[in-house]
Amino acid sequence: MATDLSHIRNIGICAHIDAGKTTVSERILYYTGKNYKIGEVHEGTATMDFLQDEQERGITIQSAATTCPWVHKDREYKINLIDTPGHVDFTIEVERSLRVLDGACAVFDGKEGVEAQSETVWRQADRYRVPRLCFVNKMDKIGASFDFSFGTIKSRLGANGIAIQYPIGVGHEHKGIIDLMNMRAFYFEGEKGENRIERDVPADLKETVEKWRHDMVEKIAELDEALTEKYLEGKEISVDELKAALRKGTIARQCYPVLCGAALRNIGVQMLLDAVVDYLPSPSEVPPVEGTDPQDKEVTMTRPHDKDAPFSALVFKVVSDTHGDLTYIRVYSGTLQKGTRLLNPGNNKKENASRIFEMHAQNRIPLEEVSAGNIVAVVGIKDSYTGDTLCDPDKPIILERMLFPEPVISMSIEPKTQDDKRKLSEALLTIRREDPSFRFTYDEETQQTIISGMGELHLDIIRTKLVRDMKIGVEVGKPKVSYREAITKKVEDVRGLFKKQSGGRGQYGDCVISLEPFSAAAAEAEELDFTDSIAFENAIVGGVIPKEFIPSVEYGIRQTAITGVKFGYPLINIKATLTYGSYHDVDSSQVAFEQAGRLALLEAVDRAGPVLLEPIMKVVITVPNEYLGNVTGDVSSRRGMIIDTDDRGVVKLVNCEIPLSELFGYTTSLRGMSQGRASATMEFLEYRQMPRNLQEEMMGEKNKEKAAKK
C-alpha cells in the first residue's frame, strides 16, 4: 500500500569528514527499529559504510540509501535516508544525492563548528534549493561549545540559524538537551539511550536558556507578519504558532533550525527525527519537478508529485553488480510497476524495469511497485546513467540534469601484463559509469592512460578497486605534461634539398618555403586548412615543381611538425608557403619531395626563433577571507597570474591562470594552507610561451635522457 505523500521525508545526512554523519545515521536506524543493534564506524561495523575500503579507512566513500519508519505524535512516517561522504574527493556523491532529496540534515562537530566540507556541502544544497536542519553533534567532546558552533553557522555560512535546543552540559558533563519550544529538559536513559525522560529545566541553566528562547521567538516572529505584530504588541505566541512559522520558513529556506546532541553517546537523535518530521518538507510540499519537452528544449514542462500523474524519475546513481547493474532512481511522479517498459528521452532508448528494490545499504527488499515521492533501486536498466530521465513512453519529459564537478588531478596508469591491458579499458568504463567525476583518456603522445579525479584519495580508491576488486595489475605514476612548440618570427627562402644517388635510379626532391607564425583566425580569413594548427599554401608558378609532388611536400611538412622539431613536441600555429623548387625527370618521386619538405621545415624552424609552449589552466579558487593572503602568495610562487578576485559573502573567488606543470598535488596543498576550507576548479585555457630559463632546463634534461639511452 502506498504511503501518503505527506508522511514521506526524503532526507540526506551530510557534513565535513569526521563530524559524525554515519554515527548519526546508525542511531537513526536503531531508534526507528530498522536495525536491532548499533553499528560503529570505529569498529568497522557501520551498516551504511559497507564497502571494504570504508570499513578499513573509517570514512564514507559512497552514498548509501535506506528507508526506515518513524512514529511521531502517533503517526507513522516513512523516512528515505541517504548517508553521504564528507571527504571533498567524493563530492559527486553529495551532489547527486542533494539533487534528488527534499531536505537535508547538516551535521557539525561541536568543537570545530562549520568546517571546510561543511561549506562546500552547504553551497551545493543552496544550488539545489534544499531546506536544511542543523545538528551540532559531539557535544560530549572535550572543548565542545554550542555557542561557538552556532556562531560559525552564521559567520561562515551566512545562514539564518535558529537554535531550538540547548545542551545540558558539554564535554564529559553533557547529559541531555533542553527543548527551547516547550522549555523542558530531556535525558536519554537505558542501555542505548532509547528511553527519553522529560524533566524540568535545571535551575543553573534557567537564565541562559530563557535568553536563548527569547532570541528564538524573536527570530521566528520575523518570519511571519502576523507573529511580528503579536511579538511587538507583547502578546504570547503559542508553541503551535511558533512551530508552524518555523516550518514554513525552513521549507522556504529563510531559516535553518539548529539542534544539538551527541550521537555516539545516544543523546538527541530521537529529537532530530521529530524535527525532520516537524520542519522538513514532504514531497507534496516542494514545487513540481521541472523539465523540458524532448522534441523542443525551449518548452518547459512540470510534473506534479502525484502517484496518478504520468511517470517520471531521475537516475542519480548506478552501481555495477555481478547480478546486473543497480540503478538508483528518485520517482517524481506517477507509479512504476515491476516489468514496466520505460523511455530514456535523452537517448531515445527503451528500458525495462524488470525488478524494483527498496534499499537498506547493500541489502535489497523486493517491491511490486513504487509511487511518486520515493527513492528505490531498479534492475534491468541498460543504457541510462547518472543524470538521465526515465519516463512514460507516451508522455516524455527530460528532467533537469545534475552538475558534475570537473576532475582536478590526474595520474598515469599502466597495465602490468597483456591480460591486464585487455581488462583495463572495460574496468575503467565500468568505474566511469558508476562515478561521473572520474575521467580517463589515452594520450597518444606519451603512450599513457591518464586517469583523472577529484583528489589523490579519490584516485587511490580507484587504484585499489582495480587491483583488489577487479583483479587487474596496474602501475601508477605522474603523467607527463603535453607541451607544444612554436616559432616567433617569419623566415623566407629556406631550401630543403633531398638528393641521393645509389648506382641505379636516385632520389631527388627540392623545395623552397617561407615559414611564419599563424593563427586560426588568419587561416579562416585566408580560407586555408588549419588541421593540427598548421596551414600550408602552394605559391608555385610556372610548374617548377610538378603538381603531383606538391601534396608530398605538404605531407612531409605536416608529419614533421606533428612529431616535433626541436623539443620533441608538436609544432603548432604555423603557416608554410611553398614558393619555389626544382625536380629531376627520372629521380624525383613522392618520397623524395616528402623528405625535401621535412628538411626545409627543420631548417626553417631553426631560423625562426623556436620556443616551447606550455598548457595554461584557468583556475577558480574559493577561499575564506582569512586565508586569501596564503593562497594568492602561493599562486605567485607557482608562476600564476591573478586576473581578479570577487566577493561572495564570507568567501572570495580568486580567478587566476597557472601553468599545468605547477599544479600537480595542488588540491592537497590548497587544503593544507587553508585548513581544508578552500577549494579549486580548473580547466584548460591556452598554450603560452614558457620562460627561457625553464626551456633551457628542459632541453638539458632531454639531452641527458638521450645520452642515457645511448
- 97-146, pLDDT tens digit by residue? 778 889 999 999 998 888 766 777 888 888 888 999 999 999 999 989 99
Q: Is the separation of the CB atoms in 300 and 290 below 8 Å?
A: yes
Task: Compare 703 and 128 and report the one with higher pLDDT.
Answer: 128
The answer for 335, left when phi > 0, alpha when psi is -120 to 50, beta otherwise, is beta
Helix (H) or strand (E) holding 259: strand 256-260
What integer pLDDT is reported at residue 325 of this predicted model? 79
| Unique residue bearing C-alpha cell 524533566 | 199
* Count, residues in the chain: 710
Please report, rounded to a whole number, the percentage of residues in the chain having pLDDT higher than 90: 47
C-alpha cell recorded at residue 402: 545534475
What integer pLDDT is reported at residue 362 of this predicted model? 63
Average pLDDT estimate for 464-493: 84
Q: How far is CA 654 from CA 47, 127, 685, in A?
A: 41, 20, 16
Buried b (16+ CB within 10 A) or exposed e, 300-324: ebebbbbbebbbbbbbbbbeeeeee
On the CB side of 186, how many CA atoms lie within 13 Å of its CA?
24
What integer pLDDT is reported at residue 560 of this predicted model? 95
> Per DSSP, which regions of 29-111 are E strands?
64-72, 75-83, 103-109
Predicted model pTM: 0.66
pLDDT higher than threshold 80 for residue 368: yes
Give CA–CA dist 245/226, Å, rounded.
Answer: 10
Strands 534-538 and 574-582: parallel
Please report, rounded to a whole number, the percentage of residues in the chain having pLDDT higher than 70: 88
Average pLDDT estimate for 525-554: 93
- End-to-end distance of the chain based on CA atoms, in angstroms? 78
Residue 261 binned pLDDT confidence (cut-offs 50, 70, 90): very high
Give CA–CA dist 528/477, Å, rounded.
Answer: 41
pLDDT higher than threshold 90 for residue 386: no
The one-letter code for the residue type at 573 is N
Average pLDDT estimate for 66-75: 86
Query: Residue 7: which residues within 8 A CB-CB, separation 6 or more?
Result: 75, 76, 77, 78, 282
CA angle 41, 44, 49 (to 5 degrees): 70
Residue 61 binned pLDDT confidence (cut-offs 50, 70, 90): very low
Segment of 178-187, 224-233, 287-296, 688-697 carrying the highest mean pLDDT: 178-187
User: pLDDT of 508-532, one tens digit each?
Assistant: 999 999 999 999 889 989 999 998 8
> Per DSSP, which regions of 294-437 are E strands?
296-303, 312-319, 326-333, 335-337, 340-344, 349-353, 355-360, 363-367, 369-371, 375-379, 389-391, 398-399, 409-415
For all residues of the chain together, what is the average pLDDT? 85
pLDDT higher than threshold 60 for residue 43: no
